Structure 1
Amino acid sequence: MLSYSIIGEKSLTFCRWLAIITAIAAPMSTAVTSVTSIAMLLTWLISGEPVRSLKISAEQPAGKMLLLFFAWLLIGTLYAETPWTEKVDTLLSWKKLAFTFVLLGLFYQTHWKRLFVGSYLAVMVIAGLVAVPLWLADLSIRSGREPGIFMTNYASQSMAFIAAVVCCIFLLRQQLSLKHKYLLYGVIALFIVNIFFISPARSGYVAFPFAVIFAAGCVYGYKKLLPIIAVTGSVMLVAILCSSTLQQRTQTGLTEKAAYQTSGELTSIGVRVIFAKNTLSLIKEHPVLGYGTSSFKSTYSRYAAAQYSGWRGTSTSDPHNQYLFVWLENGLIGLLLFFAYIYTAIRQGLNSQPYGVIAASFLVAVCATSLFNSHFKTFPEGNLLAFFVGILLAQRNVETKESP
């Protein structure tokens, strides 16, 4: 008969593998991600380790800032003029960051991080190889998706490959044979083709230079920043000149931005401009405390309906800008706490090389795209970020840290 300690140990191991599977599935399948994340939490509870692992999470700088941000979200529910059902829904929309907090106390051992990076890269290489022939053959295997796009959407597919590029950059600094380094360069090229030629995701075009420059700067040293920027710029220039997908998406975005005041129909960029203008106007009225957690949709909808008719008066629960969303709901205090978490997580990553820097680099990329999206909260991108950061950023404090 197995003792409880053995059951707990096996449950914890299974929990960590489920976390790795969830991270890999996040950009690919909503159903799989939902099932495996719940299973991960159940095995975590069965392991008997929740209290100890949560203490480890709370010891870390990023964990402490997450607790402060969560506390302010809860305070925000007290002055929001919305039903409690909406308050609970909004709090649950931030559960991705709660996953990060849990994982910070589970993945402090180096070999688990190594397993995650290896597993993630292996699956992404297969995904990249699958996407290219589908794109070349102009085939769509999921309804409503563009040729070559088989993950949840083109944005999640691009962000998944950008995370993989960051992993490759750090692997290049390992003691590898010339053959393996050339192989890694080939894999990076495969991901670049997917990001710039196959996917029409503008968020990927924005995230790529931020991720690569930050990651390469950490790996090779910031004294080599100018050559790094030059190489990244050259890659971007080649993509701009050669990728018809990138050219079309960029031109469409510029056209929509220029015509948002006169356009007769809703456009992706045009509506984002309207969202931003209206949200900033509302923020000016309550800049410090905001309108309370869960208040965005009701507050914005009343204002937009009074100001505009047609598509410009469209109601929304998301301004497609993560920072404006936090500022409107939770005020300047909430926004500063959110920035403090980001800063602390990046700093913790820089102090936890090499795996922590991978997390920090991907976080920087998502911060850039969150100027035009809410990638901390969207299901595929938010879960990918949460698990990537939680797994790779985890550490023990100085007194209890295990030897590498």
Structure 2
Amino acid sequence: MSTDSDSIRLAIAPVLHWRDRVRAWPGSAAYARATNILIALAAASLPWSTTALAVFMLLWLVAVIPTFDWEQFILDLAQPAFALPVALVALAVLGLAWSEAGWTERLQGIKPLGKLLLLPFLLGYFQRSQRGLWVFLAFLVSCTLLMMLSWIVLALPQLKLAHTASDGVPVKNYLDQSQEFVLCAFALMLPALTALRARQWRIAAGTLALILLFVANMFYVVSARTALVTMPVLLVVFASLHLSRRATRLLFAAVALASLLVWTTSPYLRQRIADVGVEYRAHDTSGIASTAQRLTYWRKSVKFITEAPLIGHGTGAIRHLFTLDATGQTGLEAEVINNPHNQTFNVAIQWGLIGVLLLYAMWIGHIRLFAGRDLVTWIGLAIVVQNITSSLLNSHLSDFHEGWMYVIGVGVAGGMALRARRRRSWRTPVVRRRANTAQHIRCRPGEGRDP
């Protein structure tokens, strides 16, 4: 009998061995490395392919779920940075109940915000992972390659990787490309400043050259006007956080001179700015133009919001409302859209004042994550400020590309900032105890201590 038992144990020993190895694998260094590589690949694929991004993010989520401390994750959900994105998606789900749109449009209304559900997972994961900079470096390298290719396809359009309407845009569109280049240029400003202060001239020269190449591409090749609006805002935020008053004055003087030089040497930029006036006048002649379209969409959006100011018209109601309003109209008034090109209007039409309060509370909660002055907090703050500013002229939190920039960027930087904050809070009591102990040793009995 024992012989049979021994034989069975010997037969199943390899199975048990591999079972134990599989169970232990999520906690191994190799598994953690593979998980970090997946999210880095997702960030690197963002400028190039929507499909690759979706695949890598799905693989990352599947890989990361077995590694979570779910008790800690539930506790983290009490924090605004974790809870508010989930609350906004939950409101969108509830908004299905009072929407008058068809069910196809209702379900499509949830989709743009669905990616926000990954924010708590990213924040939680990067509180543990020490490879968050891999993600930012992968994105920077990918955008640098795209920028170099942009200069090439400007001269040789036949080398485009996809059919795009704009010169100098190898893939996707100039709107997404401009947002990427703005973020990279401003994220590099702090490393450039740090290198200059440390007199590390080669690093400073390299980062400054890369910044100038990104900015020059937008001024001389192709750019979105939303990106041009975002740049001064980010410049002011950077100067207020990282420069003295004297350095700020010097920086803005240099920017003013550079802007004058660019204006006189870039026919493309002058034409882009001049088109604003042309497009505004097109509003009165029912011409189809960007500025005229936005003015029409915003005017109609305000009307829709006033009809249901508190809870809105429900999830997916935007296209339904524009369809009803377009009946019997012509020109721009007859356009039917599902995106009013303003994130606040996008939310307010569907979920009213409650949705707007949640949206701005989420943005403020994420800004509060980045109260430091180091590289990670600067990158995170730049991402949030860029999204808020550009969302005045677009629905960039709901848009695929810019929305994923926000989710990945805030998730990674926010998790790293939370880890650093917790590390400081753990160290502070220890430092205080050591200081008190040292003070006690230095003092004679009865001296130097509070009663």
Correspondences of 1:135-284 after superposition (within 5 Å): 135-139=154-158, 141=160, 142-175=162-195, 177-220=200-243, 225-263=248-286, 265-284=287-306
How many Å separate the matches in 1 of 2:238 and 2:171? 25
Structure 1 Cα separation of the partners of residues 27 and 111 of structure 2: 28
CA contact (8 A) 2:43 2:138 kept: no
1:354 maps to which residue? 375
State the partner residue of 2:57: 37
Query: What is the SS of the residue equivalent to 1:28?
Result: coil
Alpha-carbon separation, structure 1, partners of 2:187 and 2:130: 15
Instruction: Establish whether residue 16 from structure 1 lines up as the match of residue 36 from structure 2.
Output: yes
CA distance in 1 between partners of 2:147 and 2:157 (Å): 15
Partner amino acid, structure 1, of 2:233: F
TM-superposed CA distance for 1:310, in Å, is: 3.2
Give the aligned CA root-mean-square deviation in angstroms: 2.7
Q: Percent identity?
A: 22
Equivalent AA in structure 1 for residue 401 of structure 2: P
* Shift, 1:403, TM fit: 7.8
Asked if the contact 1:376/1:385 (under 8 Å) is kept, the reply is yes
1:147-191 deviation per Cα after TM superposition (whole angstroms, max 9, x unaligned): 321132111111111111122112124455111101111111111
- Cα separation, partners in 2 of 1:3 and 1:122, compared to 1, 3 Å: same
Q: Is the 8 A contact 1:289 1:330 kept in 2?
A: yes
The answer as to whether partners of 1:257 and 1:269 remain within 8 angstroms in 2 is: yes
Give the distance between the partners of 1:251 and 1:372, measured in 2 at CA: 18
Letter in 2 for 1:290: G
In structure 2, distance between residues paired with 1:190 and 1:399:
38
Residue aligning to 2:7: none
Which one of 322, 325, 342 corresponds to residue 321 of structure 1?
Answer: 342
Which ranges of structure 1 fall in alignment gaps of 5 or more residues?
none
For residues 75 and 278 of structure 2, the distance between their equivalents in structure 1, rounded to whole angstroms, comes to 50
The equivalences for 1:64-143 within 5 A come to 64-109=83-128, 111-139=130-158, 141=160, 142-143=162-163
Shift of 1:99: 2.5
Instruction: Give the length in aligned residue pairs.
Output: 401
Change (3 A) 1:269 1:184: same
Q: Is the 8 A contact 1:96 1:376 kept in 2?
A: no
TM-score by length of 1: 0.90
| Kept after mapping to 2: 8 A contact 1:28/1:380 | no
Change in 2 beyond 3 A, CA 1:280/1:378: same
Contact 1:16 1:107 in 2 (8 A): no
Residue 68 (structure 2) pairs with residue 49 (structure 1): yes
Task: Identify the residue that residue 311 of structure 2 maps to in structure 1.
Answer: 289
Instruction: Indicate how the Cα distance of structure 1 residues 243 and 295 shifts in structure 2: closer, same or farther if over 3 A, else same.
Output: same
- What is the distance in 2 between the residues matched to 1:240 and 1:140? 29
Distance 1:24 1:208 in 2: 23
The structure whose Rg is larger is 2
Report the Cα offset of residue 298 of structure 1. 0.6
Worse-superposed segment, 8-17 or 204-213: 8-17
Shift of 1:304: 3.0
Seen in structure 2, the aligned counterparts of structure 1 residues 373 and 172 have a Cα distance that, compared at 3 Å, is same
Q: Which amino acid aligns with 2:269?
A: L
Select between 127-136 and 223-232 the one with higher mean Cα deviation: 223-232
The aligned amino acid for 1:326 is V
Q: 3-state SS of the aligned residue for 1:257?
A: helix
1:337 and 2:373 equivalent? no
